[in-house]
Amino acid sequence: MSIKLLISEVQIQERIHEIAKEIVKKYKNEKELTLVTVLQGGKHFSEELVKEIEKISDVFIENFSLQVSSYGNGTESSGHIEVVQNLNGDITGKNVIIIEDIIDSGFTLKFLKKYLQTEKQAHQVEIAVLLNKPNRRKFDVEIDFVGFEIPDEFVVGCGLDFEGKHRELRYVGVINA
Ligand code: IMP
Ligand code: MG
């Protein structure tokens, strides 16, 4: 199995720096920044994003997380979604940003946005993804911050895994190319 480079570590770092600037600008009047990181895939993006935000702003950052499962071990969504690790904080009445690795069909993020609004009583929910596969979208969901648009190929690295592997790569690559 080989992995072909799609987006380099430097490109990713630079883009995350730009997204940090966009977020700081948009949220400059908030007294704190509340992130909800989607585990496990969103962890890398979230950590890098927090580092970049901290370089340019002294805003107080709350970084909560939760874990959902929608994919089995394959490369297609199972069409069924479950919260397997509950949100570890109270976001009632808050403006939050979901931090996720990738939007593919849109199923996960559509579910999560509604879940945080209705079940967790967030006031406003925005979405930041490192990667977007626009050609795969089946569920319409507005994305507020996007790292890169990528073609319809299965990628790994920067939090994204294939059967639990390759999450730790610092670049994004296409598997089995
Ligand atoms: P969606 O619900 O179809 O938008 O899928 C979102 C989830 O599918 C992401 O959180 C990833 O866990 C997973 N996923 C989608 N595409 C890829 C990929 O190319 N590589 C690894 N995981 C992916
Ligand atoms: Mg995921």
Q: What pLDDT digit, counting tens, does each position of 85-134 carry? A: 999 999 999 999 999 999 999 999 999 999 999 999 999 999 999 999 99
Which residue puts its alpha carbon closest to atom 16 of ligand 1?
104
Q: Which residue out of 101, 137, 155 has the highest number of ligand 1 atoms within 8 Å of its CB and is therefore the one to mutate?
A: 101
Q: Cα angle at 81 between 79 and 82, to 5 degrees?
A: 160
Using a cut of 0.85, tell me whether the model's pTM lies above it: yes
Active site positions, annotated: 104
Give the pLDDT of the chain (177 residues) as one tens digit per residue.
799 999 999 999 999 999 999 999 999 999 999 999 999 999 999 999 999 999 999 999 999 999 998 755 555 666 789 899 999 999 999 999 999 999 999 999 999 999 999 999 999 999 999 999 999 999 999 999 999 999 999 999 999 999 999 999 999 999 985
CA distance 159 to 174: 13
Q: Report the nearest atom of ligand 1 relative to the CA of 107.
A: 2
CA distance 166 to 169: 6
163 C-beta neighbours (distance < 10 Å), count: 10
Report whether 96 contacts 117 (CB < 8 A). Answer: no
User: For residue 108, is it left (φ>0), alpha (ψ between -120 and 50) or beta?
Assistant: alpha
Which one-letter DSSP state was computed for residue 14? H
Q: What tokens were used for 5? A: 């480079």
CA distance 42 to 160: 8
